[in-house]
Amino acid sequence: MTERREAVCETCHTKHTPRSVEQRRQLQNRLSRMMGQLNGISRMLEENRYCGDILTQVAAVESALQSFGYIVLKEHLETCVVEEVENGNDKIMEEVIELVKKLK
């Protein structure tokens, strides 16, 4: 059996179970929309738009990024974490708790 993660650098890993083309497409689409929103905020600043309008857009980007994080976390739990538990790695739960804390 191949090793679950191949080190790319000291802190980088690759997924053992690859994302499907559809999963990657959906995540990329979400990122593209967020980047569009961020570009929109930049234009709003250049146009000296009303602070409230800018803050509304900031809140929208934050919400979209939070949702994105939860989707990736769900995928992580369903694939990487399950594989680690099945392989007897109980320490993976410590990582999960830290990741959940980071997402707040």
Q: Is 13 part of any domain?
A: no
Nearest to 101 by CA among 73, 63, 64: 73
Structural domain harbouring 58: 21-103
Q: Does residue 9 fall inside a structural domain?
A: no
Q: What is the pLDDT of residue 11?
A: 55
Of 45, 62, 63, 46, residue with least CA distance to 54: 45
CA distance 17 to 5: 10
CA–CA gap between residue 84 and residue 39 (Å, rounded): 39
pLDDT per residue over 24-68, tens digit each? 999 999 999 999 999 999 999 999 999 999 999 999 999 999 999
What CATH number does residue 95 fall under?
1.20.58.1000
pLDDT of 10 > 80? The answer is no
Question: Angle, nearest 10°, between helix axes 51-76 and 21-46?
Answer: 160
Give me the pLDDT at residue 67, please.
96
SS3 36: helix
